[in-house]
Amino acid sequence: MAEITLVEGVTLALAHEMEADPTVVVFGEDVGVNGGVFRATAGLQQKFGDDRVLDTPLAEVMIAGMCVGMAAQGMKPVAEAQFEGFMYPMVDHIVNHAARLRHRTRGRMNCPVVFRAPWGGGIHAPEHHSDSNEATWAHFPGVRTVIPSSPSRAYGLLLAAIRDPDPVVFLEPKRIYRWQREEVEDNGEELPLDVCFVLRDGTDVTLVTWGAMVKETMEAAVELEKNGVSAEVIDVATVAPIDMETIVESVEKTGRCVIVHEAPKHCGVGGEIAAGLADKGIWHLKAPIKRVTGYDTVMPLYRSEMNYMPSTERIVHAANETLEFE
Amino acid sequence: MAATIASFKVDYFQFLDEEGRLADGAQIPALARDTRQLESLYRLMTLTRVFDKKAVALQRTGKLGTYASCLGHEAAHVAVGSAMREEDCFAPMYREYAAQFFRGVKMSDVLMYWGGDERGNDFSGPKHDFPWCVPIATQCLHAAGAALAYKLHGQPRVAVSVVGDGGSSKGDFLEAINAASAWKLPLVLVIVNNQWAISVPRSKQNSARTLAQKGIAGGLPSVQVDGNDLVASRWAMDKAIAAAREGRGASVVEMLTYRLSDHTTADDARRYREQDEVDTAWNKEPLTRLRNYLTDQGHWDQVKEEELLSESAERVNAAVAEYQDRIDNDPQPIDAMFNYMFKNLPHHLEEQREIARRFPARGGQH
């Protein structure tokens, strides 16, 4: 069994499903010979041919629109947007078409397409290459939004996303594309969508996060432990729809919750989780819910981006605030 | 050094003139001599016009929601639908009813859709045809995607999409041309140029001599025809579809017609266009000229015309009754709003469905 990175987990899942299902095609800019700017599709065109891995003209609207067309005619396209900041032109096709084709046609048609994109900040990329726009997709009915945070979850969740009969936006935290290696068996076993993963058991405070912030959140849990605080860490993974049950269950136990995300605070997914807790878990809360998020500013250019990104220190601070609340 | 390295021309075709007289010459398509087929297509054009008038009347009397009329487009739309095979894929905009009727969509399906019931989009006719597409020109890319799917699967199927003159300004249309050119897709993009994008006339949309030339810019063979001439429109469609099916790639057909109606029933075109222009356009409308031609050929007369009108009215009335009966006696349950969101309904939607069941709209559905 090979030890692989998160981005290699993506490649492995794509290769597995392309082998298993001839209707799966990879579709995007520079995904073919070049293997994608982050190498997520490296080697796939050589292995499966240029009628399975298609280099497209540079046109995001076209990528999204043609994927809707292909998916409606029995194919399973996996589209790649080169960076999340270039997904905005795709909104029309994702929201007006992919997300509602089943609904609009009373189930006559469906749209099994995956829109992949490297997502989030922290790699010193140029402008428009570092957004955390998961709330954009999470807001719209009819599309799932999935974010893996480890090599095995990248593999298992991407398999599930491709096999799902409905559209999935699959956001890949590029900052941790190569952060850790993990043994991942290429056994074709998918992981469930629509559920959270508890990464660390704890009893004093629940830290809820997803994507690359899993790294800082796990570090914060270790820091807290040094002071005798036992933190539970939950990776939400599917940010739409949210598995509130797992989060509420955890808060029933800990009574405290800190939500961590890189995206701006206002109307972020963290707000929805906090509202869900207020609705279903308020009697278990011993302290106000805290959110540690990116600021409601434009993502700064790279010299300042680490001032924007939530740090381990901010997470520990927020957790301590909930612990000190009387 | 200076040299002309590429030059282009756009050809225009009209075979039946405004009076219904056939042009001279050896180039006349065989369809012009096939009066039986012309008669059957004329019958569908007439049925569509009778249907359209009724649909507008239903909206005016509160029995239908906003409706997009197809008045004046009948030849173009019949040409598109009748040139296609069942296994081909149609990605319409939202007023190509005649094309869809030819493919088996029912008049009651159209009424269901504009009557505010999603079941209209689960229409009769080919299950692989796309539903009506309101966001403008996005359907061109869905057709391009379908065409790519057929090409990758080695199926001899063609995707056809219709866009308006207004929609031809959108990136989706231009990106579809580009993609079709890059992959040599079995695709036909039809611009039904009815001269008006709601209130913006063709002259203010851009200064290009034709809209067909947008296809040429992207590398596609493109032609302009008189879209009120069924013979020319159908001939252009036949050529374009044959090329696509035989692996020779995509093309663009611009059909010149005129929107004789308001944009939709929510619009009042008197605010922005002169009645003179509309009156002039009526002199070129597609039904009269085809009827004149068939009459001159000894294939049509007043008796047949009156029979056709009364038979069409009966069929339209039956469709209206079917629509009315379904919305009155078989409305969609509240659950339907939730049940088609995903194949596997997520938990939060189950919760919301419970709330919706408990709190149905007062007075029921409209």
Residue B347 is a catalytic residue? no
- A77 CB neighbours in chain B (<8 A) are 145
pLDDT above 90: residue A313: yes
Task: Give the integer Cα–Cα distance in Å for A10 and A23.
Answer: 18
SS3 assignment, position B226 = strand
C-alpha distance from A295 to closest chain B C-alpha (Å): 29
What is the C-alpha to C-alpha distance for residues B133 and B149, in angstroms, rounded to an integer? Answer: 20
Contact residues, chain B, for A75 at CB < 8 Å? 149, 152
Give the active site residue among B259, B289, B291, B326.
B259
Give chain A's mean pLDDT: 97
How high is the pLDDT of residue B362?
78
Pairing of the two strands B12-13 and B222-226: parallel
> Which of B272, B340, B357, B366 is the catalytic position?
B272
Residue type, B7: S
Rounded CA separation B95/B317 (Å): 20
User: By three-state DSSP, how is residue B132 classified?
Assistant: coil
Phi, psi of A114 (to 5 degrees): -115, 125
Q: What ranges make up the beta strands (E) of B239-355?
A: 251-256
SS3 of residue B28 by DSSP? coil
Q: Burial of B134 by CB count in 10 Å (0-12 exposed, 13-18 middle, 19+ buried)?
A: exposed
pLDDT digits (tens, 9 = 90+) for B231-257: 999 999 999 999 999 999 999 999 999
Confidence of residue A326 (pLDDT cuts 50, 70, 90): confident
DSSP class per residue in A69-94: HHHHTT-EEEEE-SSGGG-GGGHHHH
Q: Is the per-residue pLDDT at A129 higher than 90?
A: yes
Q: Under an 8 A CB cutoff, do A66 and B144 touch?
A: yes
- Mark which residues 164-183 of A lie under 8 Å from B by CB: 164-166
Q: Is A215 on the interface with B (CB under 8 A)?
A: no
Residues of B in contact with A25 (CB under 8 A): 152
Give the residue on A whose Cα is nearest the Cα of B120.
Answer: A105
B259 is catalytic: yes
Same fold, A2-184 and A197-324: yes
Reply yes or no on whether the pLDDT at A282 is more than 80. Answer: yes
Q: In chain A, which residue's Cα lies nearest the Cα of B176?
A: A62
How far does the CA of residue B191 sit from the closest CA of chain A (Å)? 18
What is the tens place of the pLDDT at every residue in B8-18?
999 999 999 99
C-alpha torsion angle, residues A217, A219, A225, A231 (rounded to 10): 20
Nearest to A65 among B141, B159, B336 (CB): B141
CB contact under 8 A, A73 and B145: yes
Summarised one tens digit per residue, pLDDT across range B322-358 is 999 999 999 999 999 999 999 999 999 999 999 999 9
User: The tokens of B300 are what?
Assistant: 């049509």
Average pLDDT over residues A4-16: 98
Residue B317's contacts (CB-CB under 8 Å, 6 or more residues apart) are: B54
Mean pLDDT score of chain B: 97
- A241 reaches B (C-beta below 8 A): yes
Among the listed residues A129, A139, A261, A266, the single catalytic one is A129
A57 vs B119, B142, B182: nearest CB: B182
B contact test, residue of A54, A55, A70 with most B CBs within 10 A: A70
The two three-digit tokens of residue B213, written as one number: 């030339």
User: Does A303 contact B at CB distance below 8 Å?
Assistant: no
Domain ranges of chain B: 12-16+29-331, 333-366
Cα gap A299→A308, rounded to integer Å: 7
What are the pLDDT digits (tens) for A165-194? 999 999 999 999 999 999 999 999 999 999
Q: Report the run of H or E that residue A9 belongs to, with start and end.
A: helix A6-20
Which pLDDT score, from 0 to 100, does residue B364 have?
58
Who among B142, B340, B343 is closest to A72 (CB)?
B142
Q: Among A197, A218, A208, which residue's Cα sits nearest to residue A289?
A: A208
Confidence check: pLDDT of A293 > 90: yes
Q: What is the mean pLDDT of residues B173-199?
A: 98
Q: What is the phi/psi pair of residue A172, to 5°?
A: -105, 120
Report, as an integer, the average pLDDT of A40-51.
98
Nearest CA in chain B to A65: B141
Say what the pLDDT of residue B185 is. 98
Local confidence band at B363 (pLDDT 50, 70, 90 cut-offs): low
Are the Cβ atoms of A102 and B343 closer than 8 angstroms? Answer: yes
pLDDT in tens, A68-78: 999 999 999 99
Report the residue from B118, B135, B148 with minimal CB separation from A70.
B148
∠ Cα A199 A203 A209 (to 5°): 40
Query: Confidence class of residue B365 from pLDDT cuts 50, 70 and 90?
Result: low
Distance from CA of B96 to the nearest CA of A (A): 18
The token pair at B187 is: 């695709």
pLDDT of A310 higher than 70: yes
8 Å CB contact of B146 and A73: yes
pLDDT of residue B197: 97
Q: Which residue from A minimizes the CA distance to B179?
A: A57
Alpha carbon A315 to its chain's center: 20
Residues 121-150 of chain B with CB under 8 A from chain A are 121-122, 127-128, 130-131, 135, 138, 140-150
The CATH number assigned to the domain with range A197-324 reads 3.40.50.920
pLDDT tens-digit profile of B85-136? Answer: 999 999 999 999 999 999 999 999 999 999 999 999 999 999 999 999 999 9
Query: Do the beta carbons of residue A216 and residue A315 sit within 8 Å?
Result: yes
Strand B251-256, strand B222-226: pairing = parallel
Cis peptide before A141 (omega within 30 of 0): no
Asked if B73 reaches chain A (Cβ–Cβ under 8 Å), the answer is no
What span, in angstroms and rounded, lies between the C-alpha atoms of B294 and B69? 26
Contact yes or no for B152 and A25 at CB 8 A: yes
* CATH number of the domain located at residue range(s) A2-184 in this protein: 3.40.50.970
Q: Which tokens hold the place of A4?
A: 């692989």
Instruction: Answer whether A108 sits within 8 Å of B121, measured CB to CB.
Output: yes
Chain position carrying tokens 């079995």: B186
Confidence of residue B366 (pLDDT cuts 50, 70, 90): low
**Structure-token match 């080169």, residue found:** A82
Q: Model confidence at B24, in pLDDT bands (50, 70, 90)?
A: confident
Structural domain spans, chain A: 2-184, 197-324
pTM: 0.97
Domain B12-16+29-331 in this protein, CATH class: alpha beta
The values of phi and psi at residue A171, to 5°, are: -100, 125
Please give the share of chain B, as a percent, with pLDDT higher than 90: 97
Confidence tier at A2 by pLDDT (50, 70, 90): confident
Query: Mean pLDDT throughout A136-156?
Result: 98
- Residue of A51, A52, A60, A104 to mutate when probing chain B, most B C-beta within 10 A: A104
Q: What is the Cβ-side half-sphere exposure of residue B98, based on CA atoms within 13 angstroms?
A: 28
